[in-house]
Amino acid sequence: MLTPIAIIIFLNLVPDEWNAMGALEKEEVLLKYRLTYLSDTEVNWCSALGTVLANDEIINGVSERGGHPVTKKKMRQWSMRIGAYANRLLEGLNTLDWSDSLKEMQRNWIGKSIGASVYFDVEKYQDRLEVFTTRPDTIFGVTFMTLAPEHELVQKITTAEQRGAVENYILEAAKKSDRERQSEVKNISGVFTGAYAIHPFTKEKVQIWIGEYVLAGYGTGAVMAVPCGDQRDYDFAKYFDIPIINIFDQIDISESAYTEKASVGLINSDFLNGLPY
């Protein structure tokens, strides 16, 4: 529990501001900084059973018990800020007498990533799309954006012409568990929202799509697609005839994306040209 002095210093508040807040208002402020907090999170909801189901309890969009329909639904529930103590969890694994395979599973679950947040303005709106990327150096290879079907901006920015297709896609995606959506790599699906993001450097318009492989609860629920360097983005771009920009010097991407980690020079990347990948 934060002490009053810690609250004043950490939140840059003067005592009178904090004392003027009501109990509920203070609680809302504290929840933004506690390791355990309340938030609206996407869950697998089964109305027939009246409960939330884990991914393992869903088969082909229905509950394993009873075969009832399961849909995605936002519910207020307790969450934990794993990222706030990810280092401690990772270091603690080194002291456990567990198999390497089990430790690797735990590391993947902890899911620590080092990268940068990038913001894209949305054409005709005041909103901005935030994406988290571990490879900000590939920013000039972005040719489209993909949002989770449940992303909060989807309904707002979808054009009238695309409304029907987008809503139908959202309904179908809601029937699948997160595991199903992530595992169906061979089934390429998505819908164009009709909206465009503005590239932060080139100021070019970038198409905004929704795709079930992007999860609302992972990262920011939005990805900047770099088809020349990611095979899933590459397949998506090829399938929907979206332009692909090659940013890797002397690398052939006519048949597949360049996914190797070997250092190569960057091209078509403005001030990054010539720097190693």
Q: What is the pLDDT of residues 62-93, one digit of tens each?
A: 899 999 999 888 888 888 887 788 899 999 99
DSSP β-ladder status, 116-122 and 144-147: unpaired
Q: What is the pLDDT of residue 262?
A: 81
Q: What is the pLDDT of residue 161?
A: 97
What's the pLDDT band for 128 if we cut at 50, 70, 90? very high
pLDDT at 9 over 70: no
Do 133 and 53 fall into the same domain? no
Q: What is the pLDDT of residue 31?
A: 83
Q: What is the pLDDT of residue 252?
A: 96
Do 63 and 120 fall into the same domain? no
Separation between Cα atoms, residue 224 and residue 260, nearest integer Å: 19
Taking all residues of the chain, what is their mean pLDDT, rounded to a whole number? 90
Q: Which residue has the higher pLDDT, 183 or 108?
A: 108
pLDDT at 10 over 80: no
When divided into structural domains, the chain yields a total of 3
CATH number of the domain within which 264 lies:
3.90.740.10
What's the whole-number mean pLDDT along residues 12-38?
83
pLDDT at 259 over 80: yes
Q: Residue 86: give the domain boundaries.
A: 82-112
pLDDT at 4 over 60: no
Do 90 and 59 fall into the same domain? no
What's the pLDDT band for 21 if we cut at 50, 70, 90? confident
Q: What is the pLDDT of residue 140?
A: 97
Do 197 and 108 fall into the same domain? no
Do 123 and 243 fall into the same domain? yes
Do 58 and 95 fall into the same domain? no
Q: State percent of the chain over pLDDT 70.
A: 95
Do 132 and 209 fall into the same domain? yes
176 in a structural domain: yes
Whole-model pTM: value is 0.78
35 in a structural domain: yes
pLDDT at 40 over 60: yes
- 114-125 pLDDT tens trace: 899 999 999 999
Task: Please spell the DSSP secondary structure of the chain, one letter per residue.
Answer: ---HHHHHHHTT--HHHHHHS-HHHHHHHHHTTSSEEEEEEEEEEETTTTEEE-GGGEETTEETTT--B-EEEEEEEEEE-GGGGHHHHHHHHTTS---HHHHHHHHHHH-----EEEEEEETTSS-EEEEEES-GGGGGG--EEEE-TT-TTHHHH--GGGHHHHHHHHHHHTTS-HHHHHH-TTS---EEEEEEEE-TTT--EEEEEE-TTS-TTSTTSEEEE-TTT-HHHHHHHHHTT------BTT---SSS-----S--BB-S-GGGTTSB-
210 in a structural domain: yes
Q: What is the pLDDT of residue 167?
A: 96
Do 161 and 211 fall into the same domain? yes
pLDDT at 11 over 80: no
Q: What is the pLDDT of residue 191?
A: 98
